[in-house]
Structure 1
């Protein structure tokens, strides 16, 4: 007889360290795979990833609301409208002929092994984390044209805004590569063919690699535009300094001539 597990991955609006989650929710995480830590109580799981996504497996909705309230999340009872989240139904079918089947609508497992559930939580968390970066990048895209328009005239304040913008883009790129861990498979998958199939299939369904490449491409274009704008500002800055030097030299000449004719 098939049973169903619910899975909800939520991007926490404010950053939390692992020990803060443990303290606020009165739980203790175990090391899972790569950057995923988990807590299991009977047939429920809580999975935390260091890119600030919390995944609830087989939790009642009311229990999720209470947990979010303990974390100080506003509008916890309507997190669907106020946070980035993804949910995915998991069916457990003991009569399934294969270990797992993954589709756009659901995940079917032959048995609810902890490893498989943590793999699913990790991949869904990566998708949620990537969606957060996608939204952040959309905001930066909206700002980029305004900043590029600043290059029509020069000021130190405008230059500092461009430098800060470039720094934010670098932080996004670094976070995507180092935190989301999308470019490498978890080491444990190399020794478990069935777990690797589950990971690969779910990653493919969620189009993680394709989405990552699109975000990378947008980031590269934005960084190129900002780099060009900074080069223009640096050129204008050099011209500005040159004119100051020329002005000072001219001032010295004028003062020298005045002194000369006085005497």
Structure 2
């Protein structure tokens, strides 16, 4: 099990996996209501000189705990990216709704409180990615082992780990840019409202002065 909540199994039956997940859920602080799954096969062929990476399996000359860990790490990162991609898609969909409202109505109907909640959600997703996914850094395990380094590099390429991470970061930047725009629009709205309040107060003050003069 990885820090970001992904559980990876090797040679577990369906019943064993179900039992293990049920056990882990008892201690989980947040349950993700998404069916995220990645299956990847490891084949062993002692006659090959180096690893062979395919879309749905990898062939290695031998398997030891280090090889397993590298394969499981990349699977876990791929599933975690699936999760954050789904969250980002939801954020972008919400953002598009407000942009279309600006385009067609020339104003935003969202309240300042709900906008702040939305900002908090975006920042929470981005901070969670930064805190949990060390995708751009190679694990310490591969530093002094050329075979593991190559295995890790090829698996990252196979799962498109780095491009997906960069695309995710780019899309979150777009959402943040939209948030800055929404905040500016709301600030203008609040400023305009305050100006009208000041004008009304001045008007009332003048009327009271005239009535009681």
TM-score bin (small chain): 0.7 to 0.9
| 1:229 maps to 2:210 | no
Answer whether contact 1:94 1:111 (CA < 8 A) is retained: yes
Give the Cα–Cα distance (whole angstroms) in 2 for the partners of residues 83 and 168 of structure 1: 21
| 1:186 maps to 2:178 | no
- Per-residue deviation, residues 142-195 of structure 1 (Å, max 9, x unmatched): 22223342784467x612222221221122122222211112111232221111
Aligned equivalent of 1:86: 38
- CA shift, 1:94, in A, is 2.3
- CA shift, 1:255, in A, is 0.8
Give the Cα–Cα distance (whole angstroms) in 2 for the partners of residues 219 and 175 of structure 1: 12
Residue pairs, 1:46-85, within 5 angstroms: 48-72=1-25, 83-85=35-37
Greater percentage in helix: 2
| 1:113 maps to 2:80 | no
Unaligned runs of 5+ in 1: 1-47, 74-81
Single out whichever of 186-195 and 111-120 deviates more from structure 2.
186-195
Give the Cα–Cα distance (whole angstroms) in 2 for the partners of residues 72 and 133 of structure 1: 20
**What is the TM-score normalised by the length of structure 1?**
0.72
Answer whether contact 1:154 1:236 (CA < 8 A) is retained: no
- Per-residue deviation, residues 3-52 of structure 1 (Å, max 9, x unmatched): xxxxxxxxxxxxxxxxxxxxxxxxxxxxxxxxxxxxxxxxxxxxx11111
Aligned equivalent of 2:210: 257
Aligned equivalent of 2:150: 197
RMSD across aligned positions (CA):
2.1
Answer whether contact 2:119 2:179 (CA < 8 A) is retained: yes
- Per-residue deviation, residues 93-151 of structure 1 (Å, max 9, x unmatched): 222222x2222131112221101101110111000000001111111222222334278
**What is the TM-score normalised by the length of structure 2?**
0.87
Greater percentage in strand: 1
